[in-house]
Amino acid sequence: MTNTEKVKRGLAKRYRKERRFRAMGLIAVLLGFAFLIVLLSDITIKALPAFHQTYLKLDINLDPEVLGLAPGRPLDEKAILHADFRSVVRRSMYALFPEVRKRRDKRKLAALVSTGAQYQVRDRLLRDHALLGQTFSMWVLADDDVDTYLNTRSLRDLKQSERRLRDNQVAWLETLKQEGRIESRFNWLFFSSADSREPELAGILGAVVGSFYTLLVTIGLAFPLSLAAAVYLEEFAPRNRWVDFIEVNINNLAAVPSIVFGLLGLAVFINFFGVPRSSPLVGGMVLALMTLPTIIIAARAALKAVPPSIREAALGLGASHTQMVFHHVVPLAMPGVLTGTIIGMAQALGETAPLLMIGMVAFIVDIPQGFTDSATVLPVQIYLWADSPERAFVAKTSAAILVLLGFLVLMNGIAILLRKRFERKW
């Protein structure tokens, strides 16, 4: 056989292999797409119930006797805050179904309303004192079990023993629905309230504010330190063993598991320096140390990219080395440094493990006011809610994840925009 014939003989098989290989590559990429789509759609679907909340329309009678307010005394805020709105809410529910007599059934009836309803009524009275003694209708929050039941069609087919609502409760809900007393509204509460034991009252505001304060500390510490370190390593440092050691250290720190930083924070910042546990201050300090390598590496790349011609021009005009660096090189490298910083902050926003170590696992109901208050952050909130058995928390967790992802997309988007608009190609 001539050479050409020999080659031709093997070609078909070789091209088959080529096609197979290429197909494998394509499948690999498509698998990546598929994973992402499955993940995002799963979470979005789970999150949808969290965005609306069921409300019940009750006829509230603010009877001062029931409230425990003596008729003669002045109506001040303190008195209102101590009044018994729970009974008022209960009575209004009983009033809707007067045929319910037995104690146990009455309790089930009252359980359809959220425990937060009493505070809604209270706030209403606080705003308008004239309502005392009046009867008026008001929309109040339903309990999360009601919400879950109404949102999940599959639950309606289950037997009573398999779901949380009893048959009589379901029947009452149907009546209320027919009377037009059930409404589903957008869940603003989710964005405006802090954590709560009751799923229908739980919101992410506390976590978001906590994340905000923490990131503020992180960027306040990490940005100057990283920039200074990068400037030194790139512009001033002599080439000796000590500097090599610093560089090796930075590269190693970038690969240390994040939980170890949390332990550092626990052992040194909390136990030795006495920084308040679970505060944005210590959280920010830990995250700053974690983000240092990322920003340093990005900043060094940005500094390196400034061409020697600019440096030489500055030096040629009589600037000192320091002046050249700070007046010329650093400003030109700024877009790259800022991009790296934003990306580092986005990573820090999503970190959970180190913050668990410094104590952010506590149940925080207040919105943090400062850097030393106990706080939680959004990813930790997600983690805590994910542990909760109530089904309603699944939706809340997923919704919180979407909010977190939203922030991350925003931050990365800003970083990319910054890079595109300001980075120059030398």
Partner 1 sequence: MMSEQPTTAATRVRVPEDDDDALLSVGATPQGGAVEPENGYTTVGEPFVDQPKMQTRDVNVFYADKQAIFDVNLDFAANEVLALIGPSGCGKSTYLRCLNRMNDTIPICRVAGELLLDDEDIYAKSMDPVLLRARVGMVFQKPNPFPKSVYDNVAYGPRLHGLAANKSELDEIVETSLKRAGLWNEVKDRLAEPGTGLSGGQQQRLCIARTIAVNPEVILMDEPASALDPIATAVIEELIDELRQKYTIAIVTHSMQQAARVSQRTAYFHLGKLIEVGDTDRVFTNPRHQLTENYITGRIG
Partner 2 sequence: MNSTTLLLVLLALVAFGYFFGRNRSLAAVHSRGGHRRDLHSLPEYYGYMAALWAGLPALLLLLAWSALEPTTLNHLLVAHFPATYQGMSSNDIGLALNSLHLEAGQGNPADIADPAQRQQVAYLLHLQETSRLLKTALVVVLSLAGLAWAVSRISPRFRARNAVERIIRYILIAASSVAILTTVGIVLSVLFESLRFFAKVPITEFLFGLEWSPQIAIRAGQVGSDGAFGIIPLFVGTLLIALIALALAVPIGLMTAIYLSEYASPRFRAIAKPTLEVLAGIPTVVYGFFAALTVAPAIRAFGESLGLEVSSESALAAGIVMGVMIIPFMSSLSEDVISAVPRAMRDGSLGMGATRSETIRLVLLPAALPGIVGGILLAASRAIGETMIVVMAAGLTANLTLNPLEAVTTVTVQIVTLLTGDQEFDSAKTLAAFALALMLFITTLILNVIALHVVRRYREQYE
**Per-residue tokens: 225:** 């330190």
Of the pair 9, 129, the CB lying nearest partner 1 is at 9
Of the pair 6, 127, the CB lying nearest partner 1 is at 6
Rounded to an integer, what distance in angstroms lies between the CA atom of residue 354 and that of residue 360?
9
Of the pair 64, 350, the CB lying nearest partner 2 is at 350
CB of 136 vs partner 2, minimal distance in Å: 42
- Show contacts with partner 1 in window 177-196 (CB under 8 A): none
- Show contacts with partner 1 in window 17-46 (CB under 8 A): 18-19
330 contacts: CB under 8 Å, gap ≥ 6: 227, 231, 303
Q: Which member of 66, 253, 315, 418 binds partner 2 (CB under 8 A)? A: 253
Rounded to an integer, what distance in angstroms lies between the CA atom of residue 211 and that of residue 209?
5
Q: Alpha carbon 243 to chain centroid distance?
A: 39
CB of 244 vs partner 1, minimal distance in Å: 29
Check residue 267 for interaction with partner 2 (CB under 8 A).
yes
Of the pair 21, 188, the CB lying nearest partner 1 is at 21
User: What's the CA dihedral at 32, 36, 39, 40 to 10 degrees?
Assistant: -170
CB of 410 vs partner 2, minimal distance in Å: 12
SS3 of residue 53 by DSSP: strand
Of the pair 10, 389, the CB lying nearest partner 1 is at 10
**Per-residue tokens: 82:** 């101590």
Contact 213, 280 (CB under 8 A): yes
**Residue 270 to residues 126, 165, 181, 265, Cα–Cα distance (Å):** 42, 46, 52, 6
Q: Which member of 66, 138, 263, 334 binds partner 2 (CB under 8 A)? A: 263
Check residue 266 for interaction with partner 2 (CB under 8 A).
yes
Q: Which member of 6, 73, 102, 103 binds partner 1 (CB under 8 A)? A: 6
Question: Any idea what DSSP says for residue 257?
Answer: -
Q: Alpha carbon 134 to chain centroid distance?
A: 42
Contact 415, 349 (CB under 8 A): no
394 binds, among partner 1, partner 2, none (CB under 5 to 8 A by kind): partner 2
Of the pair 160, 249, the CB lying nearest partner 2 is at 249
**Largest distance between two CA atoms of the chain:** 118
- Show contacts with partner 2 in window 284-343 (CB under 8 A): 289, 292-293, 296, 320-322
- Show contacts with partner 2 in window 12-71 (CB under 8 A): 14-15, 17-18, 21-22, 24-29, 31-33, 35-36, 39, 42-43, 46
Check residue 89 for interaction with partner 2 (CB under 8 A).
no
Segment near partner 1 (CB under 8 A); pick from 5-13, 55-63, 168-176, 397-405:
5-13
SS (HEC) of 1-26: CCHHHHHHHHHHHHHHHHHHHHHHHH
3 binds, among partner 2, partner 1, none (CB under 5 to 8 A by kind): partner 1
Check residue 361 for interaction with partner 2 (CB under 8 A).
yes
**Exposure string for 36-69, b = 16+ CB within 10 A, e = fewer:** eeeeeeeeeebbebbbbbbbbbbebebeeebbeb
- Show contacts with partner 2 in window 231-250 (CB under 8 A): 231-233, 236-237, 245-246, 249-250
Q: Which residues bind partner 1 (CB under 8 A)?
A: 3-4, 6-12, 14-15, 18-19
